Amino acid sequence: MKPIVGISMSREAAEGYPRDFLRATYIEAVRRAGAVPLLLANCDESVSLLELCDGLLLTGGGDVDPTTFGAADDGTEWSGVSPDRDRTELALIAAADHLNLPVFGICRGMQVMAVAYGGTLIQDIPRRRPDSALHHSQKESRERVTHSVDLEPDSRAAEVAGNTHFEVNSFHHQAVDRMPDGWRVVGRASDQMVEAIERPGERYLLGVQWHPEDLATAHQPAQQLFEKFVEACLAYQAGREQHVGRSR
């Protein structure tokens, strides 16, 4: 049986009517990698669905509320903040910890991983780092790469990507600031902005700041990020099936 990947969803209050949604590029990247996507709505009940899953994918989307990492609002123009999404994803991460699931975070997903383990975020890059020559929120299409990321040679991220140099797209104005204990910064842009994080150890815990799901159809290293994640999910599934009490 193919592994099941639980995928978090965005929350939007379009015209006053909240809706949960997910761009199909995430779903297709997971399917191409050989897994079954299971969409996790922004509600408490989604946490119990992780019992059915072999991995958790945390997706991009709106800003993380600064209260989740103990900070005051610094006057940033917020976009897409959702207390329901923040609460759901933090609970999903805690449940994934309990189950020892592989976790892959993309853009906001990487940021919420950092917050969940005790890190903090830069609330607005242009205001905090006006000296940066990079445009981290690009105007070009999502399929275009606009800057590079250098990965640490001894990192899981470099092993997964198959290279220490990665060309990426970029759609964020927040970024990881203080790292949580036990985690490594394993990728940076030329302005030293954090672009990839991981926690050393056997368990697969990796976050990237760019959007490989939008590059994956034409850029094999981007699709490879999903393939290696699904390999970790397959290994988790194999271990699960050895224990009858946790088999599906």
Looking at the annotation, which residues are catalytic? Answer: 107, 211, 213
Query: What secondary structure, in 3-state letters, does the chain show?
Result: CCCEEEEECEEEEECCEEEEECCHHHHHHHHHCCCEEEEECCCCCHHHHHHHCCEEEECCCCCCCHHHHCCCCCCCCCCCCCHHHHHHHHHHHHHHHHHCCCEEEECHHHHHHHHHCCCCEECCHHHHCCCCCCCCECCCCCCCCCEEEEECCCCHHHHHHCCCEEEECCECCCEECCCCCCCEEEEECCCCCEEEEECCCCCCEEEECCCHHHCCCCCHHHHHHHHHHHHHHHHHHHHHHCCHHHCC
